[in-house]
Amino acid sequence: MAKLEKNELRVGLFILIPMVILLFFIMLKLGYSIAGSTIDIYLKIDSLTSVKKGTPVKIKGYTIGRVVELIPVYRPALHFLATMRIQKEIELYEDCSAIIQNQNVIGDPSIELKNPEKKGLLLSDHDVIEGIEYVNLEAILQDVHVLLTTLSKTVNIFKQISLDSRYHLRTLVSNLSSSVSNINRILADSQKDIIAVMSAFRQTAQTMNEISKELKKHPLKFLFKGKK
């Protein structure tokens, strides 16, 4: 009976010890530490497109921890806090940058931490830093292509407007020249009529002046001139 219990104990230990070792390695892989040699720093991000559980956290290319949890925050606007569990002995300072980038075009994302040039206070457990998403080369080239296409379309539109404007400007100048000619002709015709009217007016005034002079000199003669 005692021998049977010893065998059962051995079997139990044979199963339990590998499980404990496996669990220990999993905890280390995810950034956990039994000895308390890690701290949790929160990374504020706008979306979950680049960061997930297990995303490595690096400084100068060296892995110092991993993302162990993602928490949604609903106020003032929806954003997320990624819990980065990193080695405690790594000195990180306030205002350090956290750049979210891909290891290659199709590779897994990583978080690269960089201390500021002017160092302030050290980051402590549960501090929050802002995440900056680094756009890869493929996305940049795509944006440049879209920009160049838009610019080309805009230039073509300006060229078309310029051609249309030239045509309209020529038409406007031609119409203006024709209008000036018509006005000059009207003024010339009016000038002839004005001269004729003024000439007739002068002749009438001259006749009236002669009649007035004759009336003053010989009033009776002028009055009885028609009765003879």
Q: Which of 109, 113, 48 has the alpha carbon at shortest distance from 87?
A: 113
Alpha helices in the chain (DSSP H): 2-29, 137-217, 219-223
Rounded distance between C-alpha atoms, residue 123 and residue 130, angstroms = 13
Rounded distance between C-alpha atoms, residue 44 and residue 133, angstroms = 11
Cβ–Cβ < 8 Å for 111, 99: yes
Rounded distance between C-alpha atoms, residue 211 and residue 83, angstroms = 122
CB atoms within 10 A of CB 177: 10
Per-residue pLDDT of the chain (228 residues; tens, 9 = 90+): 555 566 666 667 677 777 777 776 666 655 554 446 899 999 999 888 778 999 999 999 899 999 999 999 998 899 999 999 999 999 999 889 998 886 444 557 899 999 998 888 999 999 999 888 765 545 555 666 677 777 777 767 766 766 666 666 677 667 777 776 776 676 666 655 656 656 666 777 677 777 777 666 666 555 555 544
Q: In this structure, are strands 38-45 and 97-102 parallel, antiparallel, or unpaired?
A: unpaired
Opening angle at CA 22, ends 19 and 26, nearest 5: 135
- Could you please report the per-residue DSSP string of 22-37? HHHHHHHHTT--TT--
From first CA to last CA, the distance across the chain in angstroms is 187
Cβ–Cβ < 8 Å for 18, 11: no
Q: In this predicted structure, what is the pLDDT of residue 50?
A: 76
- What lies within 8 Å, CB to CB, of 95 at 6+ separation is 116, 120
Q: In this predicted structure, what is the pLDDT of residue 35?
A: 46
pTM score above 0.75: no
Q: In this structure, are strands 128-133 and 97-102 parallel, antiparallel, or unpaired?
A: parallel
Q: In this predicted structure, what is the pLDDT of residue 218?
A: 64
